[in-house]
Structure 1
């Protein structure tokens, strides 16, 4: 058996750090809200504009890229990322480059949404997305840094709920109870990713003066709260099914419950062991992705049944 050389090991480590910095799995949180809002509109109106959907998906990915890049930049200012080896600022040693790449992503993303506005001659979608961008900035950017006050989760929930509503409006030019209900489900599923990212970095957060929810209530308190946060998604789902707001096909989303249980058990078991709980956000991403894909499949199933 041939053992890897030191250079090969270093190269492998750097590749792993770059993958962790780029966060490919994270971009599901940008794609899912747009798909959910668009497919719900298709199910309710029978119309789906593919060009607008494609533009919106690309814009959402660019805007999330801005959020991730600028988060690394602003966290570098506070020193909270000094032990985060996969920070893009730490990897490149060029904070200015990451800042301007983030601004470029923001400009291109907003330009994409603006093109939807010009196509439809309706500024509603642009207004909603600009609100989402403002929420993203005050979460991390100076002088606000509301994420450091423990308000990141409410801002995240509101932003991704509005994202679903914006995608729905881009197709239907109106709103519905269903789009707000599914928006709340997607918003909460996405917020879980942010919530679970705090468990392994309590010491760094405290040192930088960041009062994340886990700093405030402790890792055990966070682990005990997590099942209620996950459960709220299924409460909304069952409420929507019971009142007829949601199509019966959305019962399919109940199949994502085992992923929520897995997340809660993982965090409860390892909440106070940073090395073992640090992948909790990726377990949360898996649940968010599964929940979102099942919503999309259910909406497609509902639309297909209606066309028969």
Structure 2
């Protein structure tokens, strides 16, 4: 799951390299470590917040359920956040550009509103939008500033692509837990749409990745090399087909989010290679 941290940073850095022909390797490495720490905070704190509503009672891999120690997980998550923000703060200091820290601080604040009280916007079905904004434009803007590079159409295009592919992962996580979401009062997109319409929305969202890429090439934002993305069509088909078949069978559809993670990783890798080449 930590490719969710690695992919946006890698694609954004590749976009900067494609535009400028140079990157700061130390800054890239520090940003990567910091991003992983921030994702650890999001995952651990979400387990803590979900344990308070009872929505995770059937979630075997909840760290709170595994440890039985909510307080420990809460403070461990805060420690991860401090490490992540500390690393980003160091980058901002080295670059003497505090917009780096500002963009990530805003992304973290939005991330908190997803499950954190009193907001819990994820319970209103807004999680995917938050995901798209934080892992897309905000993270890409921070990476851009960290590399002392001005934002470009290429960067914004890549940020939209990764924002959508990341939101797809979250969207897929709802299919198997409709009953738990309803019991906890969570109005996830799948609860609102139903699993059948949700599978259609997933198919359209996935196909959009393969429409945006040639469109951005025609606009001159992406290099033709980014057509490498089409090597990932089999993974996209696997995801759409799997959810289309089993959308209303929780035991069979529950692994679709891991297929979505695989799609996110491979599309990110191909897009990065295309931007670099």
Normalised to the residue count of structure 2, the TM-score between the two structures is 0.98
Out of 164, 167, 170, which is 1:194 matched to? 170
1:152 aligns with 2:127: yes
Aligned pair in 2 of structure 1 residues 235, 172: CA closer, same or farther (>3 Å)? farther
Is the partner of 1:246 in helix, strand or coil? Answer: coil
- Equivalent pairs counted in the alignment come to 276
C-alpha distance after superposition, 1:222-257 (max 9, x if no partner): 011111111222222121111111111111112222
| Structure 1 residue ranges (4+ consecutive) displaced by more than 3 angstroms after TM superposition | none
Out of 93, 100, 114, which is 1:125 matched to? 100
Q: Which runs of 5+ in 1 are unaligned?
A: 1-25, 303-308
Q: Is the 8 A contact 1:33 1:160 kept in 2?
A: yes
1:249 aligns with 2:225: yes
1:217 aligns with 193
Distance 1:240 1:257 in 2: 18
Out of 149, 168, 178, which is 2:154 matched to? 178
C-alpha distance after superposition, 1:42-63 (max 9, x if no partner): 1211211011001000000000
Is the partner of 1:90 in helix, strand or coil? Answer: helix
Moved more, 159-168 or 219-228: 159-168
Moved more, 151-160 or 233-242: 233-242
Q: CA deviation at 1:77?
A: 0.5
Out of 21, 30, 34, which is 1:59 matched to? 34
2:15 aligns with 40
1:80 aligns with 2:55: yes
Is the partner of 1:142 in helix, strand or coil? Answer: coil
Q: Is the 8 A contact 2:222 2:275 kept in 1?
A: no
Normalised to the residue count of structure 1, the TM-score between the two structures is 0.88
Distance 2:29 2:40 in 1: 17
2:139 aligns with 163
2:257 aligns with 281
Q: Which runs of 5+ in 2 are unaligned?
A: none
Distance 1:49 1:67 in 2: 27
